[in-house]
């Protein structure tokens, strides 16, 4: 199912392109395919926003109080428990993301074999970043172990962390983008934009705090020399 919204000249002639106007035209065209109040779309947006908020609030609460570790008997058990909850929340987010795409129109210009193959490439690249990040960090490193006092000797700098910062987040974003392109879904593209914005906000919140944890660890190590 597809729904045309604007004619081919909505962004002006090719000889005099205003890229800001072109960006606005693309966004307007995408929004023309999407019902933002469709229940699954709303649920997907809420899940996308809620998940990083949840794990950051819980992790900082644990870092300040150690109550989760105390209740579950050890920092490792508490970290594994939080990791399990995060995995379930992420599965629920992916479910609503997929349902939102299925319930909204497809875009003809994306519904092509070339676009589908491009989506597969994005999905493959994103999966590589996510899986290699997990391999480099391990379970506790991936799921906020540093907030539980489970610290590595130093911050991880090998692949994929030597290619870009926060590869787990951007790999996940690439997965959603690839999934949206494969489904020729304007709703999926808009939801992927929400994913990217939320992850960017999360990194601005998390990175200084994580850096401070390792700064304190290094300072304590110097004191005990």
Binding-site residue ranges for S-adenosyl-L-methionine:
124-126, 206-207
Q: How far apart are the first and last CA of the chain?
A: 68
Written as one string, the DSSP assignment of 148-181 is GT---SS---STTTTTSSSHHHHHHHHHHHHHHH
56, 102 contact by CB (below 8 A): no
Give the whole-angstrom CA distance, residue 150 versus residue 131.
21
Please state at what angle helix 186-223 crosses helix 167-182, rounded to 10 degrees: 170
CA distance to 72, 75, 80, 83, 144, per residue, from 150 (Å): 15, 7, 12, 14, 9
| Binding site residue list | 124-126, 206-207
């Amino acid at each position: 199912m597809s729904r045309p919204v604007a004619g081919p000249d909505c962004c002006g002639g090719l000889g005099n392109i205003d890229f800001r106007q072109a960006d606005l035209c693309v966004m307007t065209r995408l929004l023309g395919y999407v019902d933002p109040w469709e229940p699954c779309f709303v649920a997907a947006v809420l899940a996308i926003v809620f998940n990083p908020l949840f794990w950051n609030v819980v992790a900082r609460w644990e870092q300040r109080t150690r109550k989760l570790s105390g209740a579950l008997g050890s920092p490792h058990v508490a970290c594994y428990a939080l990791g399990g909850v995060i995995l379930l929340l992420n599965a629920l987010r992916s479910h609503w993301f997929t349902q939102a795409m299925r319930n909204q129109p497809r875009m003809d210009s994306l519904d092509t074999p070339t676009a589908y193959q491009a989506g597969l490439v994005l999905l493959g690249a994103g999966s590589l970043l996510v899986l290699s990040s997990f391999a480099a960090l391990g379970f506790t490193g991936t799921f906020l172990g540093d907030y539980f006092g489970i610290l590595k000797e130093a911050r991880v700098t090998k692949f994929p962390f030597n290619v870009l910062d926060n590869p787990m987040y951007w790999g996940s974003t690439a997965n959603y983008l690839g999934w949206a392109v494969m489904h020729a879904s304007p709703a999926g593209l808009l939801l992927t934009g929400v994913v990217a914005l939320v992850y960017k906000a999360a990194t601005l919140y998390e990175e200084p705090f994580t850096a401070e944890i390792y700064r304190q660890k290094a300072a304590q190590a110097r004191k005990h020399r």
